[in-house]
Amino acid sequence: MERFNRLYTFVILIIMSIVFSNVVQSEPLKGTNKQIVNVGFMSSIKRVDEGKYVGALPDIMRMITSELNYDVKLQAMPIKRLLKSLEAGRLDVVIGLFKRQEREVYADYLSLPIGWVCANIFVPALPNQKISGSPASFSKKRIGMLRGANWGQKLADVFSEHQIIKTDVASYTVLAKMLDKGRFDAVVASNDAFQSAANQLDLKHQFVNFPLSNTNSLAMYILVSKHSKFAQEAQLTSKFNLALDTLTKNDSIRQIYRRHNKTFDEHCLK
């Protein structure tokens, strides 16, 4: 009988832990009545200051959730884990991704972008470096790019015309490492993401970059999980759309970018 009671107690504890794990993401923070929105973003673009994620995108997310009287828990993770967590509903929201049709199966894109990403070509800062922003300067060179990044048909045509050897890799960290080791002559990437990855690594070389005028500027969006119970019950997509529309129209988004010495929708034109 005693053994049965122990087994019964053990089973009850397991059931309670499972139930708790399924609801903990929407529980209020201690000392507040606000519910938590679990938000993920790519670890390749994370910046931390005094233990806190900093940058335009985290600040935008904090402003939106504050507008709606929610608290936010930010989590940086690799892109594969990020998308799997969004698809499984372990994350309510993801910030800072480009539009991909396959992601719409498990997530809703908000109607307005939260920023734009521009392409730059990065090269090691060497005295004899001959690559510049001119397409002819990287003719027949080995160029690395982030897998899935679509910088437009014009750049694809330039690569074909100048017989450029293009290799796609999985992360900005890999791009920086391979450029540093000489596996690539140059890489095409967004400025903030590449610089952030390079800064996290103890690399031999420093890099310089040149803007590419013959590329698309890619819009970054917020995605809301279709499989997050909290996100669906709280109708986060419609609430976030309304809040983002207000914050965009009253220039709050631009002000956040200005605080970080950036611009919102004009920086790709420079």
3-state secondary structure string across 129-189: CCCCCCHHHHCCCEEEEECCCCCCHHHHHHHHHCCCEEEEECCHHHHHHHHHCCCCCEEEE
* Residue linked to tokens 């894109």: 109
The predicted structure's pLDDT at residue 20: 38
Enter the pTM of the model: 0.71
**C-beta of residue 180 within 8 angstroms of C-beta of residue 124:** yes
Token pair for 132: 């510049």
Q: How far apart are CA 230 and CA 228, in angstroms?
A: 5
What pLDDT does 28 receive?
Answer: 47
pLDDT of residue 107: 97
Q: Which segments in the chain show pLDDT lower than 50?
A: 4, 10-29, 270
Supply φ then ψ for residue 4, to 5 degrees: -65, -45
> How many CB atoms within 10 Å of residue 162?
15
- pLDDT recorded at residue 131: 79
Q: What confidence score (pLDDT) does residue 268 get?
A: 63
How far is Cα 161 from Cα 156, in angstroms, rounded to an integer? 9
In this predicted structure, what is the pLDDT of residue 70?
A: 97
How far is 241 from 129, CA to CA, in rounded Å?
46
Q: What is the pLDDT of residue 3?
A: 52
